[in-house]
Amino acid sequence: MTVHVIADSASKISAIRAMIEQRHMVTSEVLADAAIKRGGIEAAVVSVDIAAVDNISALKAISAKLARIPTRIFVIDNKGRLSIVQAYALGATHVFTNPVNPARLLAKLAPVEASLVPSDDPSEGTGSVEAASAGAASIAAMFSAAMNGTTIDIADARAAGGKIADSVAEDGLSDWLSTVRRHHEGTYQHCLLVTGVAVDFGLSLGLRNTDMERLYSAAMFHDIGKAKIPLAVLDKPGKLDEQERVLIQSHPVAGFEILRGNPGISPEILDGVRHHHELLDGSGYPDGLCAQSITDIVRILTISDIFAALIEHRTYKPTMPREKAYEILQSMHGKLEKPLVEAFREVALNR
């Protein structure tokens, strides 16, 4: 693969070169003089201080050329979510924070080879494995509380959602999807996937922190109503009969009822739980809402939910490729917000 390295100092260029040169054809430029004149570059590694104003304007100046390179990995110093959002806003498809692990950088540059790496390989993001375990534990606890009629710990689920948000922001969506699909199944897998996809979608849209928190909390809780549906129906591989379909479609209202008396719950989460199956043309359920009554957070959640459901790993059928799942979203004319589906493209295909 041809990789172009751009950094704000010669020493950073050498550091990145040392990590990847044995495996890839590498060219490089210092950011201040960067012009990206060569064609045929398959990946860029951009190692810069993202907080420096000069660097931001230099990156903006080359943004159009950078955008033509399919894989754009940013290596930044600051771990804060704001810096990570900034990197995505400047064109990153993946973001690593220093000190970067060379094995993981190489894995990102060669995704096909990386998929052959066994699951106990140290290059798998331990952050994502831990966040996924904490997330699954929290979802399991909320499902069991819902089944037993005891109070759900909202703060615990929000904290677990925050860990997922950090993991996706730091290690990228692809890492999250493969970790979750490898280690979790069924409804927990689905809820973890939806939360990760929603987080990455929110990051790519540059949502502010409060909206991010609302979004990932709503994603964690969105299918809590499924706690009331027998597993035999929930996990049924084949087509559902009419009675089963009605039962499945009762889960948004069931979830709303489970959460509504809880003092820790916010109106946005309740809205997301009840309305994530509503569609802009009014053909969704349970309330048949139309466009003007469906909030932005819910629209983002719905797209994330459909995409995550399509790419789920199930033992009885092959996993749908992300490209195919995105085509299905694009074909849902009038049901999903078109500009949002368009904005989802990078998340769906490249991150």
Residues in the site for Fe ion, rule: CB under 5 A?
223, 305
CB of 259 to Fe ion, least distance (A): 14
CB of 285 to Fe ion, least distance (A): 10
Q: Is 2 or 250 the residue whose CB approaches Fe ion more closely?
A: 250
Beta-sheet strands, E only, within the chain = 2-7, 25-30, 43-47, 71-76, 94-97
CA–CA separation, 175 vs 171, rounded Å?
6
How many residues comprise the chain? 351
Q: Is 36 or 248 the residue whose CB approaches Fe ion more closely?
A: 248
The sheet that has 71-76: what strands, in order across it?
A: 25-30, 2-7, 43-47, 71-76, 94-97
Q: Is 94 or 275 the residue whose CB approaches Fe ion more closely?
A: 275
Query: What DSSP assignment string belongs to 77-139?
Result: S--SHHHHHHHHHTT-SEEEESSPPHHHHHHHH-HHHHHTS-TT-TTS-HHHHHHHHHHHHHH
Indicate the burial class of 37 (C-beta count within 10 angstroms; 0-12, 13-18, 19 or more).
Answer: exposed
What are the tokens at 156?
A: 């615990």
CB of 255 to Fe ion, least distance (A): 8
CB of 152 to Fe ion, least distance (A): 17
By C-alpha distance, which of 339, 305, 298 is closest to 325? 305
Contact indicator for 156, 141 with CB cutoff of 8 Å: yes
Q: Is 108 or 190 the residue whose CB approaches Fe ion more closely?
A: 190
Q: Is 124 or 223 the residue whose CB approaches Fe ion more closely?
A: 223
CB of 164 to Fe ion, least distance (A): 15
CA–CA separation, 318 vs 101, rounded Å?
31
Q: Is 125 or 135 the residue whose CB approaches Fe ion more closely?
A: 135
CB of 214 to Fe ion, least distance (A): 17
Q: Is 278 or 305 the residue whose CB approaches Fe ion more closely?
A: 305
Question: 44 - beta bridge partners?
Answer: 4, 72
CA–CA separation, 184 vs 344, rounded Å?
25
Q: Is 26 or 173 the residue whose CB approaches Fe ion more closely?
A: 173
CB of 248 to Fe ion, least distance (A): 9
- Biggest alpha carbon distance in the chain? 66
What are the tokens at 170?
A: 């730091």
CB of 140 to Fe ion, least distance (A): 16
